[in-house]
Chains A and B, each alone.
Chain A
Amino acid sequence: MKLTNPLTAIFHPPPTPGVLGVFAHLDATVDAIGKLRQGGHTDFTVYSPIPRHEIEDALDQPVSPVRMFTLIGGIAGCAIGAWITLYMSYDWPIVLGGKPVGSIPPYVVIMFEMTILFGALATILGILFNALFAARRLGTVAYDARFTNDKFGIFVPCEPARAGQVETLLRGTGAEEVRRA
């Protein structure tokens, strides 16, 4: 009996069946996105070497949740800054220069820096979590090395029976290369 590594399913998942179209032009890609959405496709992946508003508008996706990470991180940082300075002052109270033990104005500097630090780190976590680690079907959809250079691409997941129809659609909108994955 052949033993299979249980982690294989996680780290080397089987490829998603579908059709990959390679586009040389941005406007053709935008056309194809429009046609695919009209045809009822929703979970296709668009590759582009740079972020373009035309693609974003055509896809009409909701605003990224990264902003909540930034907001919560920033507020948490500010609160932590206020807490460490005040707690540490009152934990061993020493009067310096006749000022109150917990004097807010100098502590604003620490609160400000902690706001920025935690806000930035939370933003990074937000990007990593949403864009890189938690992306659906990461690593299982077809990819072409030219997509980071000068080509745009669309991968449409579909059953082999429907692949022909998608191929025709992509070719019709100006894909210079279409292949099944």
Chain B
Amino acid sequence: MAETSTAAARGTRVTYDFVTRTIARTLGNPGKGYFALLGSAVALLAVGIGCLLMLLRYGLGLAGYSHPVYWAVYITCFVFWVGIAHSGTLISAILFLFRSGWRTAVYRTAEAMTVFAVMTAGLFPLIHIGRQWYFYWLIPYPNERGLWPNFKSPLIWDEFAIGTYFTVSTVFLIMGLIPDIAAVRDVATGWRKKLYAITSLGWRGTNEQWRHYTRGYLYLAALATPLVLSVHSVVSWDFAMAIVPGWHATLFAPYFVAGAIYSGVAMVITLLVPIRKLFHLEDLITVHHFENLAKLCLLTGLIVSYSYCVENFTAWFGGHHAERAAFWYRAFGPFWWASWTMNICNGILPWLLWFKKIRTNILGLFVISIFVNIGMWFERYVIIVVSLAGEPFERFANATYNPTWADWGIMAGSFGWFFMWFLLFVKNFPAVSISEVKEVLPAPSRGKALHA
């Protein structure tokens, strides 16, 4: 049993009671390291809020937009954060349907990451529109002339997709939490007991409750599975529906979905390494789990690399001069450094994960996961900014684009916002699913052993 391997080495037996106590302990005092991380996250958020206030006061001119690059760092961050969200739903819903046992120890972290990443992503279109106080115009209701939103526009599809994704992933997270909150309610004391008594909604684990719950959870997973594949496809159509060379490709939907899961799995590794250490979860989240995450990363990384090859091949083989020029500009134009960062981090780095030695080295994985995310951020930057900067329709307008402090500040703030919510979550709610980890343990029995 993989879950028990580390614990067995230390002489502890992983039982139901051990799981409850280990996870309930994460809700206690987490120590100085946790508060240092939380403090840094809040400080980053403060930087972002400062920049946003300046942007509200003086307008979008503070950001580095220059004709024709009017989609830039904010949209890059939007796509980046939506992408981060995807692996959470992959691990919690798709692997649930595949009945893969190893997901139980890591899926809660991944799912929480999904919700907070979508929360972060949702901020960027609002920041990007400039007059932030008019964001509600996206909601389908007629304006004063009786005009409705244009449902043929991918931007409206996107709003529906992201709105649905946020709602569904949030309720999916909360639904999974209910039995676990009940479990910590029954061992907690003081004000926490009251908090968990309310948030567990009266859960007691009766046969009636489990009967409806397990069915409903199955359907939620079945609904979330096509949703996760659709959301990043719809995000990719924001670009693919336009005729800008470098955007207008049928490849975009699967290419974006694979890239999203690739970056998301990397982010799960980035988050799990410190969380496991800070909250002493080594007995539950083992090297085996990291290795499986690394394999997922390798698989999706290879799909991404393949997409890069196909993209370049099609540009050349298609023979259209604008398309060829766009890809030449991408690789050898003024933004060559961004393209090659992306190619090296996403196309070459995942090959390291073929080696078991690297897959099972947690520090090594942590470093690789950070580089994967840098690469994936640059992928979106290359697709969005570089394609626009090199677009052939207005040759006279070719601009060099330089992000300003307003761009970088708000991007840093988004990381602060994301990590702040995530750290608050893992401190106050069970960061590892109590009931699902128990499900993969052998059930206590007096007679013959009952397998998981």
Say whether B1 faces chain A, with CB atoms less than 8 Å apart. Answer: no
* Nearest-neighbor residue (CB-CB) of A96 within chain B: B152
* Nearest-neighbor residue (CB-CB) of A144 within chain B: B186
Tell whether, in the assembled complex, residue A48 and residue B205 are in contact, meaning their CB atoms are under 8 Å apart: yes
The CA of A28 and the CA of B444, in the complex, are separated in Å by 10
In the complex where A110-B157, A110-B160, A124-B216 touch, is A49 in contact with B201 (Cβ < 8 A)?
Answer: no
Tell whether, in the assembled complex, residue B210 and residue A148 are in contact, meaning their CB atoms are under 8 Å apart: no
Tell whether, in the assembled complex, residue A50 and residue B206 are in contact, meaning their CB atoms are under 8 Å apart: no
Q: Which residues of the partner chain A approach B220 to less than 8 Å between Cβ atoms? A: 120, 123-124
Q: Which residues of the partner chain B approach A41 to less than 8 Å between Cβ atoms? A: none
Tell whether, in the assembled complex, residue B157 and residue A106 are in contact, meaning their CB atoms are under 8 Å apart: yes
- Measured as residues with beta carbon below 8 angstroms from the partner, the interface class of chain A is 35 or more
Say whether A181 faces chain B, with CB atoms less than 8 Å apart. Answer: no
Q: How far is the CB of B367 from chain A (nearest CB, A)?
A: 36
Q: How far is the CB of A22 from chain B (nearest CB, A)?
A: 13
Residue of A69, A74, A149 ringed by the most chain B CB atoms within 10 A: A149
Say whether A61 faces chain B, with CB atoms less than 8 Å apart. Answer: yes
Q: Contact string, A40-55, partner B, CB cutoff 8 A, digits 1/0?
A: 0000011111111011
Q: Contact string, B197-240, partner A, CB cutoff 8 A, digits 1/0?
A: 00001111111111111111101100110110010001000000
* Nearest-neighbor residue (CB-CB) of A46 within chain B: B207
Contact of B435 among A49, A64, A114 (CB under 8 A): A49
Q: Contact string, A102-142, partner B, CB cutoff 8 A, digits 1/0?
A: 01001101101110110111011011101110011011000
Say whether A150 faces chain B, with CB atoms less than 8 Å apart. Answer: yes
Which stretch of A11-19, A83-91, A160-168 is in the interface? A83-91
Which stretch of B29-37, B51-59, B163-171, B255-263 is in the interface? B163-171
Say whether B450 faces chain A, with CB atoms less than 8 Å apart. Answer: yes
* Nearest-neighbor residue (CB-CB) of B226 within chain A: A116
Q: Which residues of the partner chain B approach A50 to less than 8 Å between Cβ atoms? A: 435-436, 438-439
In the complex where A46-B207, A88-B148, A120-B167 touch, is A64 in contact with B16 (Cβ < 8 A)?
Answer: no
Q: Which residues of the partner chain A approach B212 to less than 8 Å between Cβ atoms? A: 64-66, 126-127, 130-131
Say whether B395 faces chain A, with CB atoms less than 8 Å apart. Answer: no
In the complex where A117-B168, A139-B202, A148-B179 touch, is A91 in contact with B207 (Cβ < 8 A)?
Answer: no
Say whether B49 faces chain A, with CB atoms less than 8 Å apart. Answer: no
Q: Which residues of the partner chain B approach A74 to less than 8 Å between Cβ atoms? A: 223
Q: Which residues of the partner chain A approach B94 to less than 8 Å between Cβ atoms? A: none
Residue of A99, A112, A131 ringed by the most chain B CB atoms within 10 A: A131
Residue of B156, B215, B220 ringed by the most chain A CB atoms within 10 A: B215
Tell whether, in the assembled complex, residue B160 and residue A135 are in contact, meaning their CB atoms are under 8 Å apart: no
Say whether A177 faces chain B, with CB atoms less than 8 Å apart. Answer: no
Tell whether, in the assembled complex, residue B206 and residue A45 are in contact, meaning their CB atoms are under 8 Å apart: yes
Q: How far is the CB of B21 from chain A (nearest CB, A)?
A: 9
Q: How far is the CB of A12 from chain B (nearest CB, A)?
A: 14
In the complex where A114-B160, A123-B220, A150-B17 touch, is A26 in contact with B444 (Cβ < 8 A)?
Answer: yes
Question: Is the contact region of chain B dominated by helix, strand, or loop, or is it mixed?
Answer: helix
Contact of A127 among B15, B152, B163, B213 (CB under 8 A): B213
Tell whether, in the assembled complex, residue B167 and residue A117 are in contact, meaning their CB atoms are under 8 Å apart: yes
- Which chain B residues in 142-161 approach chain A with CB under 8 Å? 142, 146-152, 156-157, 160-161
In the complex where A106-B157, A107-B151 touch, is A49 in contact with B444 (Cβ < 8 A)?
Answer: no
The CA of A110 and the CA of B159, in the complex, are separated in Å by 10
Tell whether, in the assembled complex, residue A150 and residue B15 are in contact, meaning their CB atoms are under 8 Å apart: yes
Question: How many residue pairs, one in A and one in B, have C-beta atoms under 8 Å apart?
Answer: 201
Q: Which residues of the partner chain B approach A28 to less than 8 Å between Cβ atoms? A: 445-446
Say whether B344 faces chain A, with CB atoms less than 8 Å apart. Answer: no
Contact of A46 among B140, B149, B206 (CB under 8 A): B206
The CA of A45 and the CA of B207, in the complex, are separated in Å by 6
Say whether A174 faces chain B, with CB atoms less than 8 Å apart. Answer: yes
Tell whether, in the assembled complex, residue B209 and residue A135 are in contact, meaning their CB atoms are under 8 Å apart: yes
In the complex where A66-B216, A109-B161 touch, is A120 in contact with B206 (Cβ < 8 A)?
Answer: no
Tell whether, in the assembled complex, residue B216 and residue A64 are in contact, meaning their CB atoms are under 8 Å apart: yes
Tell whether, in the assembled complex, residue B161 and residue A113 are in contact, meaning their CB atoms are under 8 Å apart: yes
Say whether B112 faces chain A, with CB atoms less than 8 Å apart. Answer: no
* Nearest-neighbor residue (CB-CB) of B202 within chain A: A132
Contact of B140 among A66, A84, A119, A132 (CB under 8 A): A84
Say whether B187 faces chain A, with CB atoms less than 8 Å apart. Answer: yes
Say whether B443 faces chain A, with CB atoms less than 8 Å apart. Answer: yes
The CA of A127 and the CA of B172, in the complex, are separated in Å by 12
Q: How far is the CB of B22 from chain A (nearest CB, A)?
A: 12
The CA of A27 and the CA of B450, in the complex, are separated in Å by 8
* Nearest-neighbor residue (CB-CB) of B161 within chain A: A113
The CA of A149 and the CA of B183, in the complex, are separated in Å by 6
Q: Which residues of the partner chain B approach A106 to less than 8 Å between Cβ atoms? A: 151-152, 157
Tell whether, in the assembled complex, residue A113 and residue B203 are in contact, meaning their CB atoms are under 8 Å apart: no
Say whether A63 faces chain B, with CB atoms less than 8 Å apart. Answer: yes
In the complex where A52-B443, A123-B219 touch, is A116 in contact with B208 (Cβ < 8 A)?
Answer: no
Q: How far is the CB of B195 from chain A (nearest CB, A)?
A: 16
The CA of A148 and the CA of B207, in the complex, are separated in Å by 12
10 more contacts with CB within 8 A, not counting A26-B450, A51-B214, A96-B152, are: A47-B206, A48-B210, A49-B183, A51-B213, A64-B215, A70-B223, A121-B171, A143-B204, A148-B204, A150-B17
Which residues on B are within 8 Å of A, measured CB to CB?
A: 15-17, 20, 140, 142, 146-152, 156-157, 160-161, 163-164, 167-168, 171-172, 175, 179, 182-183, 185-187, 201-217, 219-220, 223-224, 226-227, 230, 234, 435-436, 438-439, 443-448, 450
